């Protein structure tokens, strides 16, 4: 059972989309993803250009494959514009049989904007969406998406949280599971 705390001032006001009647599909499943392990510094020194390490790529790919065997399906992948997040999003899209499209969404850059992400998600025609971003923002995105902005949700590198959105994006959802690359072992 979800606990809702209507007096919690830290929580954003639920979004009531005006266009919901015009949409073909309402997003009812959200996957919040922290990018996989990346190099400490890019060759040119830019934080934005940091790439995934070979080990980070391998461990995240194994996790995604395991989750797909468990039934995970994603219609659309939204990613931060930073290279490490885009590479993480590409692994998700490449591994899924449906080959979902990837969209770069500025609201997933460090300092993520939950309200903007919800509004963007509402405009999409997708029942399951993945948001790929950065710590500590992804932890906060999970907490807000389950209706508890003060929840402490630890998202390791390469972690994926599944949230059921029975009432659609912008309404409190339910955290179904959170998986890390350790879920399928080290390597």
Helix axes 114-122, 137-145, angle to 10 degrees: 60
Residue 155 pLDDT: 96
Residue ranges and CATH numbers for the domains of the chain are 25-147+161-184 (3.40.50.1240)
Summarised one tens digit per residue, pLDDT across range 146-164 is 999 889 999 999 999 999 9
Residue 24 pLDDT: 58
Beta bridge partners of 177: 162
Is the pLDDT assigned to residue 129 strictly greater than 50? Answer: yes
Q: Give the whole-number percent of the chain exceeding pLDDT 90.
A: 76
Beta bridge partners of 162: 31, 177
- CB neighbour list of residue 123: distance below 8 Å, 6 or more residues apart: 19, 23
Q: How distant, in Å, are the alpha carbons of 36, 68, 72, 75, 137 from that of 97?
A: 21, 9, 11, 11, 29
Residue 64 burial by Cβ neighbours in a 10 Å radius (0-12, 13-18, 19+): buried
Mean pLDDT rounded to a whole number for the chain: 88
Task: Kindly state the average pLDDT of the residues 16-42.
Answer: 77
Q: How distant, in Å, are the alpha carbons of 136, 143, 184 from that of 50?
A: 17, 27, 25
Is the pLDDT assigned to residue 121 strictly greater than 60? Answer: yes
Comparing 19 with 39, the larger pLDDT belongs to 39
Given pLDDT bands bounded at 50, 70 and 90, which one contains residue 43? confident
């Amino acid at each position: 059972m979800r606990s809702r705390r209507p007096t919690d001032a830290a929580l954003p006001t639920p979004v009531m989309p005006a266009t919901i009647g015009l949409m073909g599909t309402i997003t009812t499943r959200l996957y919040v993803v922290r990018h996989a392990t990346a190099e400490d510094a890019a060759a040119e020194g830019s934080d934005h250009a940091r790439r995934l390490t070979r080990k980070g790529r391998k461990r995240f790919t194994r996790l995604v494959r395991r989750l797909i065997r468990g039934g995970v399906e994603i219609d659309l992948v939204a990613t931060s514009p930073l290279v490490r997040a885009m590479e993480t999003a590409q692994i998700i899209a490449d591994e899924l049989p449906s080959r979902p499209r990837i969209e770069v969404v500025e609201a997933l850059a460090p300092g993520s904007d939950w309200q903007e992400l919800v509004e963007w998600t509402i405009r999409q025609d997708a029942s399951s969406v993945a948001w790929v971003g950065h710590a500590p923002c992804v932890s906060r995105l999970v907490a807000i998406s389950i209706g508890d902005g003060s929840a402490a949700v630890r998202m390791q590198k390469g972690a994926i949280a599944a949230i059921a959105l029975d009432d659609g994006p912008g309404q409190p959802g339910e955290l179904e599971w959170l998986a890390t690359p350790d879920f399928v072992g080290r390597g």
